[in-house]
Amino acid sequence: MASFVDRATIRLKAGDGGNGCVSFHREKFVLNGGPDGGDGGKGGSIILVADHNLHTLMDFRYKTKYQAGNGGAGSSARCTGKDGEDIIIKVPAGTVVREKESGRVIADMFSPGQTRVLMTGGRGGFGNARFATPTRQAPNFAKPGVKTAWHEFILELRTIADVGLVGFPNAGKSSLLARITAARPKIADYPFTTLTPNLGIASHKGSSFAVADIPGLIENASAGAGLGFSFLRHVERTRLLLHVVDASGQEGREPAEDLRVIDGELSRYGQLDRRPQIVLANKMDLPRSAENLESLRQAAGERTVIPVSAATGEGIETLLDTVVGMLAQLPEIQPLAEEEGVLEEHLTGWEAEKVEDGVFRVFGVSMDSLLDAVNFSDYESMNWFHRTLRASGVIDRLRELGAQEGDTVRLGDTEFDFID
Ligand SMILES: Nc1nc2c(ncn2[C@@H]2O[C@H](COP(=O)(O)OP(=O)(O)OP(=O)(O)O)[C@@H](O)[C@H]2O)c(=O)[nH]1
Ligand SMILES: [Mg+2]
């Protein structure tokens, strides 16, 4: 049980592209063979898969760095280098992936079986065979492969279920889960028996729905009391909450007051109090429950109150009918919106400086890979290059440093005119 982990930070790197090769064909009796250097292989990608057998992010506590294989270098006789090996990382369904630096949602691994290429490997560089033209028969150069950078991501498990059970410790949440599903959670007569979320599937009259049971909440859970309220993350992606109250009022408790306290904690956790909700007056088999029912109904306001007993099964049929009926009316949960193209044209790790009057320099890892990726003899490619520089703030930064139309900008070995 101690092995539940629902947040992790990992570092990932796609494979570098292999370098292109400079080589000339050699054969007996053939004097000057043509260029035959092959292209570099593509770097391996990082691929995520949502696996329905996984329920925690435990694995990432032990292994936090993953690196896909680099592409091999090209070789003579136009041989392309070997592609780097992909890395496939399995995560539980419901894992949300955010880029650490920006906090942006890169992927929501919402449904079991879903795959997602998180980072693409670098392109291999062209070998010199590619650069032969009628006027340049012996190109003595090739292109390096695109080099990739390390990126940090935050993984966060946000369980997806139709129904979530919430309430005070000892109210009987786990007992109800055991009653309506095949799950066998720990149940005991002391608070905080449940320490990590439990999931089960309930089937009723041809419908089935997933139920999540979480640790109990207490007053000021939002301020960290008890186990705190971070477990509410695991009922955040549900369509309906079952608010379980111990109606018997054991140990001097007041059921209506219990209901109000949990309502307060739910509202403090990003408006979970607005989620459709059924109030379950549990433990109706106990003597004082019946007399507490009226005040509980009043405190529940417009919510439906269903008297039940996880112990005897009383009211469970009505509960299941009501849940199935309500779920049929409620919209499906939607995955989070993913922000597109974040890793493709979002250059970080560059700097710009003024070298002397009228001369500026831009450098850094991302500039190196940008230069490797652009083909300067291609109009489209040049356009993309300019767009990327602009989108990444390079042009603005140069202007800030005082660059004027026609000044020189150095990027790697190449010089450009500054065009605003
Ligand atoms: N008499 C009676 N006892 C019940 C009923 N439901 C649960 N209990 C008992 O209440 C105690 C607490 O039940 P749990 O299901 O562990 O309660 P929980 O809400 O999951 O508690 P936490 O996991 O601590 O939040 C256990 O001793 C159960 O046997 C019921 O309907 N009637
Ligand atoms: Mg429990």
Task: Count CA atoms closer than 13 A to 48's CA, side-chain side.
Answer: 24
Q: What is the pLDDT of residue 198?
A: 94
Instruction: Give the global pTM.
Output: 0.77
Q: What is the pLDDT of residue 342?
A: 39
Task: Please answer whether residues 279 and 295 qualify as being in contact, where contact means their C-beta atoms are separated by less than 8 angstroms.
Answer: no
Domain 1-158 has CATH 2.70.210.12: yes
Distances, alpha carbon 404 to alpha carbons 99, 108, 379, in Å: 35, 44, 24
Where do you find CATH 3.40.50.300 in the chain?
Answer: 163-329
324-359 pLDDT tens trace: 999 999 999 988 887 654 354 456 678 899 999 999
Where do you find CATH 3.30.300.350 in the chain?
Answer: 351-417
| The architecture CATH gives domain 351-417 | 2-Layer Sandwich (3.30)
Query: If we measure between CA atoms, which residue out of 185, 249, 186, 238 comes closest to residue 210?
Result: 238
364 lines ligand 1 (CB under 6 A): no
Distance 134 CA to ligand 1 centre (A): 84
Q: What is the pLDDT of residue 1?
A: 43
Choosing from 166, 179, 187, 192 the residue with most ligand 1 atoms within 8 A of its CB, the one to mutate for a pocket test is 187
186 lines ligand 1 (CB under 6 A): no
Where do you find CATH 2.70.210.12 in the chain?
Answer: 1-158
| The architecture CATH gives domain 163-329 | 3-Layer(aba) Sandwich (3.40)
226 lines ligand 1 (CB under 6 A): no
Q: Output phi, psi for 268, to 5 deg.
A: -70, -20
Listed as ranges, residues in the chain with pLDDT below 70 are 1-3, 30-31, 339-348, 373, 375, 377-381
189 lines ligand 1 (CB under 6 A): yes
183 lines ligand 1 (CB under 6 A): no
